[in-house]
């Protein structure tokens, strides 16, 4: 199957299916790139982990970026908060549960939010 055949078939899809297909193709391309250039991927993950753990100046930008996005989304449940954070990293190879927990802990430390039982509370 060649590109033109696939392009014609894609025109018949609904917009949601087109978006799902685009996301799948991006994920497949990233995995292929990881197989071709594994060292580049390892270096990127080290940089991201350093940012999350506060080991570079860019980590402040990362947390502030997350704060900005969360303040717009205002998820009310902890699960929604976790899903929101996961979505922010989905095109960067994803994020681990432990890193999400550390981000949430940092947001609580900054008094940006509190988690009471399963609810997320935003102090005024």
In sequence order, what DSSP letters do the residues of 53-79 get, joined into one string? TT-STHHHHHHHHHHHHHHHH---BHH
Q: Is the pLDDT of residue 118 over 50?
A: yes
Which of the four pLDDT bands, split at 50, 70 and 90, describes residue 84?
very high
Token pair for residue 75? 């998820």
For residues 88-110, average pLDDT = 86
Question: Which pLDDT score is estimated for 39?
Answer: 63
Question: Which pLDDT score is estimated for 56?
Answer: 47
pLDDT digits (tens, 9 = 90+) for 34-76: 777 666 665 566 566 655 555 444 455 688 889 999 999 999 9
Strand partners for 67 = none
Token pair for residue 104? 């949430």
More confidently predicted of 66 and 94: 66
Question: Which pLDDT score is estimated for 109?
Answer: 92
Question: Which pLDDT score is estimated for 23?
Answer: 92
Which of the four pLDDT bands, split at 50, 70 and 90, describes residue 92?
confident
Question: Which pLDDT score is estimated for 78?
Answer: 94
For residues 20-46, average pLDDT = 77
Question: Which pLDDT score is estimated for 75?
Answer: 95
Cα–Cα distances in angstroms (integers) from residue 94 to residues 16, 31, 70, 84, in the given order: 22, 12, 17, 12
Structural domain spans, the chain: 1-36, 38-124
Q: What CATH architecture does domain 38-124 belong to?
A: Orthogonal Bundle (1.10)
């Amino acid at each position: 199957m060649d590109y033109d055949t696939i392009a014609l078939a894609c025109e018949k899809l609904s917009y949601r299916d087109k978006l799902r297909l685009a996301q799948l193709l991006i994920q497949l391309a990233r995995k292929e790139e990881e197989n071709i250039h594994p060292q580049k991927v390892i270096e990127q993950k080290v940089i991201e982990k350093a940012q999350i753990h506060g080991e570079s100046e860019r980590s402040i930008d990362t947390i502030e970026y997350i704060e900005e996005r969360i303040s717009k989304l205002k998820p009310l449940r902890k699960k929604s908060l976790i899903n929101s954070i996961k979505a922010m990293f989905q095109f960067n190879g994803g994020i681990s549960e432990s890193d999400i927990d550390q981000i949430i802990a940092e947001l609580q430390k900054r008094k940006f939010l509190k988690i009471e039982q399963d609810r997320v509370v935003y102090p005024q």
